[in-house]
Amino acid sequence: MKTVSLVDVASYLPENRVNADYFAQFAAPSRLANSPMFRPPAHRHHVADGESAIDMAMRAVAPLVARSGEDAVRGVDAILTHTQLPDLPLQGCAGELAYRLGANPEWVLDVHNSGCAAFPYMIKLARQLLQQDGARSALIVAVQNAAGQVFTQTEVRSQPQAAIPGDGCGAGLLVVDDRAPVLATACRSQGEFAPSPADADVDPPRKYWEPGPGQFRIAFNQNKIARVYARGNRMVPEVAHDVCRQVGVAPDEVDVFVTNQPNRLFLRNWREAMQLPPERHPDTFDECGNLFGAGIPVTLDTENRAGRIPNGALVVMSAFAHAGDFAGAAAVRWGAAPV
pLDDT digits (tens, 9 = 90+) for 274-331: 999 999 999 999 999 999 999 999 999 999 999 999 999 999 999 999 989 999 999 9
Give 197's pLDDT tier (boundaries 50, 70, 90).
low
- For the chain, give every domain's residue range: 1-198+215-339
Q: Contact 30/219 with Cβ under 8 angstroms?
A: no
Q: Residue 12, exposed/middle/buried by CB under 10 A (0-12, 13-18, 19+)?
A: buried
Q: Contact 10/64 with Cβ under 8 angstroms?
A: yes
Please state, in angstroms and rounded to a whole number, the distance separating the CA atoms of residues 101 and 302. 24
pTM assigned to the model: 0.96
For residue 204, cis peptide bond before it (omega within 30 degrees of 0): yes
pLDDT at 200 over 80: no
Q: Residue 177, exposed/middle/buried by CB under 10 A (0-12, 13-18, 19+)?
A: middle
Please, where are the H alpha helices in the chain?
21-24, 53-68, 70-74, 94-101, 118-130, 222-247, 264-274, 285-288, 295-305
What is the DSSP secondary structure assignment for residue 41, as one 8-state letter? P
Q: Residue 30, exposed/middle/buried by CB under 10 A (0-12, 13-18, 19+)?
A: middle
| CA separation, residue 231 to residues 164, 173, 234, 251, 301 (Å) | 19, 31, 5, 19, 27
pLDDT single digits (tens) 62-79: 999 999 999 999 999 999
CATH class of 1-198+215-339: alpha beta
Q: Contact 204/212 with Cβ under 8 angstroms?
A: yes
pLDDT single digits (tens) 207-246: 888 888 888 888 787 888 888 889 999 999 999 999 999 9
Please state, in angstroms and rounded to a whole number, the distance separating the CA atoms of residues 213 and 211. 7
